[in-house]
């Protein structure tokens, strides 16, 4: 690709693609295509091929020109990145040389009022990345007070979650909560923010968005899928933006790169051979210049690892937190 084509540089983009070390003939997966920033950077390596995935139909439509420009080196697929192994297989790539993921909501989605992701703009309370399934308004209308409190506490890390849930249930008994402004106003009445602190609705919106899109379950499953499709010496690069995501990535890579077991006082515990080698002990973070140009980069953490020749570990069970299906079923 020509340098002039690099219209969108994602957070820690050069660093993430640098960890992948793309080469001619290599096949790479961009699990979160978005505006195509990582894909463009990978395609700058002549002869590389990218399979890019996004669940948002707007992102797929927006990538049509890049597909044409790539001249057959880019395949764009609308799907969840948890399905990346199946997506690769369908494209004739049983194994790949690299996987990159940028976790969470995109700046484009946040900036579109009609998508309902942000309290900065008044719009429908939607928050769905894929435009399918229950919306945030559906969850707010049907979830029990207990489920709402758990959702907002677990996924939003909001310590006043019970107060917020109680206020939502009281408000919806009077009138449906269907807009971002309506929800933000309800939350602001029970969560007080001091000057200079984040908006009182920030954590509630985060919790609902993560829940509606099943983002943390998706991340768990996507990491397992990446482990299965990466070739020996293939590389994984993951950029996360808050502690919930980063904790999952950090734990996954720590478990998959662990060697040995036991101690001189205890017998060695049998465990699977390491399937990854860490590329850095600490996460890579954005420099001052990038943070100044893009404040969202301040919270970004990049972790990377290289696949070993050992078999993939067995996928672990998902955490026992509330699920979209169970909450909506109980709310009928």
Assign residue 157 the CATH number of its domain: 1.10.150.170
Q: Is 54 annotated as a binding residue?
A: yes
Residue 163 and residue 90 in one domain? no
Instruction: Count how many domains the chain has.
Output: 2
Q: What is the CATH number of the domain that holds 270?
A: 3.40.50.150
The pLDDT of residue 2 is above 50? no
The pLDDT of residue 96 is above 80? yes
The pLDDT of residue 116 is above 80? no
Domain endpoint, select from 154, 178, 212: 212
Q: Is residue 125 assigned to a domain?
A: no
Give the pLDDT of residue 117.
75
Give the pLDDT of residue 3.
36
Residue 247 and residue 284 in one domain? yes
Residue 102 and residue 7 in one domain? yes
Q: Is 207 annotated as a binding residue?
A: no
- If one compares 171 and 198, the residue with the highest pLDDT of the two is 171
Q: Is 160 annotated as a binding residue?
A: no
Residue 75 and residue 192 in one domain? no
Q: Is residue 9 assigned to a domain?
A: yes
8 A C-beta contact, residue 207 and residue 154: yes
Residue 9 and residue 88 in one domain? yes
| pLDDT band, residue 131 (cuts 50/70/90) | confident
Q: Is 109 annotated as a binding residue?
A: yes
8 A C-beta contact, residue 42 and residue 20: yes
Please name the residue ranges forming H helices in the chain: 13-20, 37-43, 57-62, 64-69, 84-90, 107-110, 136-142, 145-156, 161-172, 180-188, 202-212, 215-229, 243-256, 288-293, 324-330
8 A C-beta contact, residue 208 and residue 122: no
Q: Is 36 annotated as a binding residue?
A: yes
> How far is it, in rounded angstroms, from Cα 279 to Cα 187?
42
Q: Is residue 329 assigned to a domain?
A: no
Residue 174 and residue 46 in one domain? no
- pLDDT tens digits for range 187-242: 999 998 888 788 899 999 999 999 999 999 999 999 999 999 999 999 999 999 99
Q: Is residue 153 assigned to a domain?
A: yes
Residue 14 and residue 75 in one domain? yes
Q: Exposed (0-12), middle (13-18) or buried (19+): which is 71, by Cβ within 10 Å?
A: exposed
Residue 35 and residue 50 in one domain? yes
Q: Is residue 14 assigned to a domain?
A: yes
Q: Is residue 17 assigned to a domain?
A: yes
Give the pLDDT of residue 130.
87
| Average pLDDT score over residue span 137-145 | 97
| pLDDT band, residue 1 (cuts 50/70/90) | very low
Give the pLDDT of residue 170.
98
Residue 94 and residue 225 in one domain? yes
Q: Is residue 93 assigned to a domain?
A: yes
Q: Exposed (0-12), middle (13-18) or buried (19+): which is 213, by Cβ within 10 Å?
A: buried
| Average pLDDT score over residue span 21-50 | 97
- pLDDT tens digits for range 158-168: 999 999 999 99
Domain endpoint, select from 166, 182, 212: 212
Residue 8 and residue 68 in one domain? yes
Residue 137 and residue 81 in one domain? no
Tell me whether strands 230-240 and 96-102 are parallel, antiparallel or unpaired: parallel
Query: What residue numbers bound the domain in which 59 lies?
Result: 3-107+215-307
Residue 231 and residue 175 in one domain? no
Q: Is residue 22 assigned to a domain?
A: yes
CA angle 209, 215, 221 (to 5 degrees): 170
Give the pLDDT of residue 272.
87
> How far is it, in rounded angstroms, from Cα 108 to Cα 115?
10
N residues, the chain? 332
Q: Is 211 annotated as a binding residue?
A: no
Give the pLDDT of residue 268.
59
């Amino acid at each position: 690709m020509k340098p002039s084509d690099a219209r969108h540089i994602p957070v820690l983009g050069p660093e993430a693609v640098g960890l992948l070390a793309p080469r001619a003939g290599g096949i790479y997966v961009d699990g979160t295509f978005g505006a195509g920033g990582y894909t463009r950077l990978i395609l700058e390596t002549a002869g590389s091929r990218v399979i890019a995935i996004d669940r948002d139909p707007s992102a797929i439509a927006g990538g049509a020109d890049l597909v044409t420009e790539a001249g057959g080196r880019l395949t764009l697929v609308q799907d969840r990145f948890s399905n990346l192994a199946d997506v690769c297989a369908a494209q004739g790539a049983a194994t790949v040389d690299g996987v990159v993921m940028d976790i969470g909501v995109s700046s484009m989605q946040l900036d579109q009022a009609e998508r309902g992701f942000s309290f900065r703009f008044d719009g429908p309370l939607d928050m769905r990345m894929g435009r399918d399934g229950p919306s945030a308004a559906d969850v707010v209308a049907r979830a029990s007070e207990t489920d709402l409190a758990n959702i907002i506490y677990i996924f939003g890390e909001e310590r006043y979650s019970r107060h917020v849930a109680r206020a939502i249930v009281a408000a919806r008994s009077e009138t449906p909560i269907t807009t971002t402004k309506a929800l933000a106003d309800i939350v602001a009445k029970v969560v007080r923010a001091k000057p200079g602190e984040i908006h009182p609705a920030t954590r509630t919106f985060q919790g609902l968005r993560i829940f509606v899109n099943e983002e943390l379950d998706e991340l768990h499953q996507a990491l397992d899928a990446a482990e299965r499709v990466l070739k020996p010496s293939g590389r994984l690069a993951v950029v996360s933006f808050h502690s919930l995501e980063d904790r999952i990535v950090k734990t996954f890579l720590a478990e998959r790169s662990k060697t040995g077991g036991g101690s001189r006082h205890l017998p060695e515990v049998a465990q699977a051979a390491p399937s990854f080698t860490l590329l850095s002990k600490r996460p890579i973070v954005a420099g001052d210049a990038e943070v100044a140009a893009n404040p969202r980069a301040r919270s970004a953490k990049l972790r990377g690892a290289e696949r070993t020749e050992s078999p993939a570990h067995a996928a672990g069970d998902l955490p026992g937190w509330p699920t979209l299906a169970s909450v909506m079923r109980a709310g009928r």
